[in-house]
Structure 1
């Protein structure tokens, strides 16, 4: 393996020295494998590798030093692999294939397959012997401690499959029909076996309130744990199976609307399984709950060292806190610095088997101020005896740590390499690249030597808000002393996202956007990726900034700050600045063209929100942003649709018409209104694809259309100014 990695690097260095490439294609920069869903078992790690849309599952066994491919996909059908779960002995792997249903009960079918598409649970032998076996339609699989049964969720009910009967069938199909384990009111979720396999823990979602129940298999009875008028969630077993910890937030009030940018009070509770009686251990001082309880993969843990670990933002930044389940008191910040300077976010985590060491990814700038715009892996003792220790220094992006024996595995990327899998032996500083190896993709095609290292830029908005951005400059071969370049501002979606100084870790949606910004720089654009307020990485106050979105669009000031920065650069033509972005970034792109066609010469809007007031009424009650009747006037005034009479600049609109995040009608409506005003518009529509396009070819089509569009309106624009400062 070491020799292969050395040869891989030599290949790149030779290519760079021999050819010094400055240009590459969109296909080239999107050609590298992208690895996701890293999951650990007792002696294995598994992940998904996606190469130009073709998804496959790989497993690595440290003791044998072998990597196996467990699936044999050869085409991009848009169906994801996710929710990996190893059997206790590590010999079997359960996973989910496909995506969940929309409100009409239909799973995404981006290829328009006449047979339809489904989300289903599969089981496969980790040793690679045999084909994956379909267990049944559903999601969230989990093995029983005996490994004879598999729980999974189907349509809000708990299903169980007999794996012994299923294994006797050799045709690759499930001939043992899964059955509903029990009946209970509500939409059930979070089903999990007790440590001894005698009971199943679950949540019953009942609208205004949630209940947590324990189903005993032998007695066929349900015990409700501390039932109340609240919404209880994320239950976890104690190591001995006698107690359950969970998070409690207030129940819903009449007329209360969901607002993902808001917050709620929450409390940590523990209940006795035998009696159902519970007690509160600690509650947040204010509306500190919400984001920190759904963004991390495991918001609450009960450790082998008998500690409760949970995420919270109650001190202004998202961190992991420790609390004793036996003696209530104030929680201790585990992932924060000992001196209290914890102005960074802790994200994904894993625990050592004894529960005494926590590994976590964070953007802690203590070692390097640029790391606020990166991610690295840290570790810390959970007992408070030491301070966080940086394990992966440098300029990379390392996330999603998992532990197998004496090896720490994680997802690893850089400013010139896509996200792969790497590991370090504990106590050793050297990183070993596990995947991809040179044979795993066309290394000569991917333009490593031609990419540019983005630079950190810090902006000041008109109201004084500090905003971070990443600057992609054209390579030296595209720079001249006389000519000015067109400028582009990229705006991420979410808005709870943060673009980084390297390949993005949060799914191919943002990884592709980073790759496209690299491509645009190679074509001669000066690209500024702006991390506007409402995003993550800079604390709760930044994420929950006042008057954002439908309540005043305060983040648009950050877009204008980016425009001012580009206008003041000597290498940028101030008359040739464009905007592009998707989802929330599409909203801000449309906002820029509607309010300031004098500043922005063109834009590309991927599935953006265009009318907050319409979304508040039609998408769902409140539109997910808590937009009530009293908010409608301001919501409309905070929308691109409010300023259409000032919109002059051309725009390319891109949307999949099975979008489950931003209704396709948003684009239909706005394009019709702009056409009526003779505003130059172009459209690219993908029938049956969703918000985050599931087909790689649709991303390629989108980016090639964007390239042509900006080439027409910015590279060859009549607005061009050749004057120099």
Structure 2
């Protein structure tokens, strides 16, 4: 899009666009290779070069003469530089390691990247430490300037942006590590190798955005002046020189995806409150309370005050592990209401006290609000393996399928917590979820149809219940042994995240056992609903099935 005129030009199929510094061309990835095209559409896209690996992490040098990239080959990868007037790729210290996430220095004369062992053939056992490397492109001198602790917390963080490596100023490289038990930002001087922690505390930081001069970093953090802010996101700002951290927003809202506008004094971000969906917002960082939303005309004509405000809850699973969530209660006096446990996917996700910044969970929040409007209590559960509550929660032991499914204890605890509430009918509790949440929905119905009386399994990763055994194994038959509750199974046939055959197999087993099964299939659609119409059909079918099989008593 040309911002002054608003003109939109179709470039071509591809992803990960990177605008050239001359603002006339754009590089992007297509078929795992780099293509380039004019931004005004005057020239057709063409390949820039070809390598045998999968190209990712593309970044133009400050002068626009060279393109830095990572070439992936499964468990190992190399860092390369393409020069527009050169004949060959320049490979940066290729080795028997996995080199990733390359970044230019501010002057374009050096590069930093992450290096770790290439885990081929299962010979390398976790935890696998990683190092920050620098290379001087004039001298080819390669240096290891920092190595992570050889601990589980020091290993590669499973976090948005992974290492979040940036070379902001000549003497400042920043990165993210989980080494103190929470995902926080650190900085290192590449010359002195002195490391300082920039953010500290029992909270997470993500969605980093950096000022042009490298002096400030904006983050979305689940912290604030309220105890339940652990289930919200607020905007914080880091002073890179001093390490000072300041929260810029607060309250019951959720603020995400911050960016600087015109220097370091003004910022833009997304803002929502429980009763209002996400809108863009602007703020002067020097004027507390100056936050204002824009583009409210984009919202449909709907009375959002009908929506309820979810409440943060915490309880314990039977093994003493903490469980968190948000409970949605219908307005007015509620007694003997049917209830639903909602299970998110991922599993490294965190559901919040309001509209989610991810489109997938934005829509799930909307569906949960609809169920509440029809008289259901909904408990959205944040189970172990999810984010937002520290390393020990996200990396809990004996989880994930092959090593055990201890996270199911949290789902069971959620059902029992609902059953114990005076406003819930303990005999009418259902469950629904998608992807990993679909897998845990299947677990709930398979193990505890006595508690969960109805379920909706949306593209569930059901084979995880086999613990590594194949679908033809004897263990597979045990999946449906105690399953009696009716279930709706929904899946798109072109799903590259979860195999469509997993839903076929589950449906066949249940039908053969006489369990009531309904299904909804979307030919050629994928895991994220390419057609909005299919998303709406999914939501309507989920609500209809729950309401028919477990209706509200009036």
Both proteins in one fold, TM over 0.5: yes
Q: Secondary structure at the match of 1:710?
A: helix
Match of 1:545 among 382, 388, 396: 396
Match of 1:316?
181
| Contact in 2 for aligned 1:653/1:681 (Cα 8 Å) | yes
Q: In the alignment, does 2:6 pair up with 1:137?
A: no
Q: Which residue number corresponds to residue 301 of structure 1?
A: 166
Residue from 131, 134, 137 that aligns with 1:270: 134
The CA distance in 2 between the partners of 1:230 and 1:502, in whole Å, is 43
**1:532 maps to which residue?**
383
Secondary structure of the corresponding residue to residue 214 of structure 1: strand
Distance 1:293 1:605 in 2: 26
Seen in structure 2, the aligned counterparts of structure 1 residues 431 and 415 have a Cα distance that, compared at 3 Å, is farther
Distance 1:428 1:297, change over 3 A: farther
The equivalent residue for 1:606 is 458
3-state SS of paired residue (1:271) = strand
- Rounded Cα–Cα distance in structure 2 between residues aligned with 1:670 and 1:199: 51
Structure 2 CA distance for partners of 1:378 and 1:129, relative to 1, 3 Å: closer
Q: 1:687 aligns with which of 518, 523, 526?
A: 523
Alpha-carbon separation, structure 2, partners of 1:279 and 1:177: 41
Q: Which residue among 334, 338, 354 is the counterpart of 1:502? A: 354
TM-score, normalized by length of structure 1? Answer: 0.72
Which residue of the other structure, out of 142, 146, 163, is the alignment partner of 1:282? 146
The residue number in structure 1 matching 2:497 is: 661
CA deviations 1:48-78 (Å, max 9, x no partner) are: xxxxxxxxxxxxxxxxxxxxxxxxxxxxxxx
Q: Return the offset for 1:195.
A: 1.0
Q: Is the 1:266–1:288 Cα contact (8 Å) retained in structure 2?
A: no
Alignment CA distance shift 1:212-1:289 (3 Å): farther
Q: 1:141 to 1:692 in 2, by over 3 A?
A: closer
Corresponding residue number in structure 2 for 1:127: 4
Q: Report the alpha carbon displacement of residue 194 of structure 1 after superposing the two structures with TM.
A: 1.1
Match of 1:198 among 65, 73, 85: 65
Any residues of structure 2 matched to 1:158-173 within 5 Å, and which?
Answer: 158-162=34-38, 167=40
Q: Would you say the 8 A contact 1:590–1:610 is kept in 2?
A: yes
Cα-to-partner distance string for 1:674-710 (whole Å, 9 max, x where unaligned): 0111101111111111112222222222222222212
Q: Does 1:254 align with 2:133?
A: no
Worse-superposed segment, 415-424 or 211-220: 211-220
| Separation in 2, partners of 1:419, 1:475 | 23
- Aligned residue pair count: 550
Q: Which residue of 1 aligns with 2:107?
A: 240
Runs of 4+ in 1 over 6 A off after TM superposition: 633-637
Q: Shift in Å at residue 291 of structure 1? A: 6.1
The answer to whether structure 1 residue 493 and structure 2 residue 356 are counterparts is: no
Deviation at 1:398, TM superposition (A): 0.5
In structure 1, C-alpha distance between the alignment counterparts of 2:308 and 2:206, rounded to whole Å: 27
Q: Distance in 1 between matches of 2:512 and 2:442?
A: 17
What is the rounded CA distance, in whole Å, between the counterparts of 2:469 and 2:397 in structure 1?
17
Q: TM-score, normalised by structure 2?
A: 0.93
* Structure 1 segments unaligned to the other structure (5+ residues): 1-123, 168-173, 337-341, 615-626
Distance 2:163 2:36 in 1: 23
Provide Cα deviations, 1:91-142, integer angstroms capped at 9, x if missing partner: xxxxxxxxxxxxxxxxxxxxxxxxxxxxxxxxx3212264x33333322222
1:442: how far off? Answer: 2.7
Q: Contact 2:80 / 2:91 at 8 angstroms: preserved in 1?
A: yes
- Greater relative contact order (CA < 8 Å, ≥ 6 in sequence): 1
The aligned residue for residue 458 of structure 1 is: 314
What RMSD in Å do the two structures reach over aligned CA positions? 2.5
1:381 and 1:240, CA in 2 relative to 1: closer, same or farther beyond 3 A? Answer: same
Distance 2:329 2:109 in 1: 59
Residue-by-residue CA offset, 1:543-562 (whole Å, 9 max, x unaligned):
11111121211011101111
Of 323, 329, 335, 1:473 maps to: 329
SS state of the match for residue 412, structure 2? helix
Aligned to 2:447: 595
CA contact (8 A) 1:613 1:636 kept: no
Matched, 1:155 2:14: no
Give runs of aligned pairs for residues 177-216 of structure 1, distance below 5 A.
177-216=44-83
Measured against aligned partners, the alpha-carbon deviations of 1:126-182 in whole angstroms (never above 9, x if no partner) come to 12264x33333322222322334332222222223355xxx4xxxxxx452333333
**Counterpart secondary structure, 1:303:** strand
Which secondary structure does the structure 2 equivalent of 1:549 belong to?
coil
The answer to whether the 8 A contact 1:469-1:531 is kept is: yes
Quote the Cα distance in structure 1 between the aligned partners of 2:548 and 2:317: 30
How far apart, in 2, do the equivalents of 1:582 and 1:700 lie? 15
What's the CA shift for 1:633? 8.8
Aligned pair in 2 of structure 1 residues 380, 294: CA closer, same or farther (>3 Å)? closer
C-alpha displacement of 1:215: 2.3
Question: Structure 2: how far apart are the matches of 1:634 and 1:182?
Answer: 43
SS of 1:453's equivalent in the other structure is coil
> Residues 570, 549 of structure 1: CA spacing in aligned structure 2 closer, same or farther, 3 A cutoff?
same
Q: Which runs of 5+ in 2 are unaligned?
A: none
Residue number in structure 1 paired with 2:289 = 430
Equivalent residue for 1:678, pick from 514, 524, 543: 514
Contact 2:463 2:471 in 1 (8 A): no
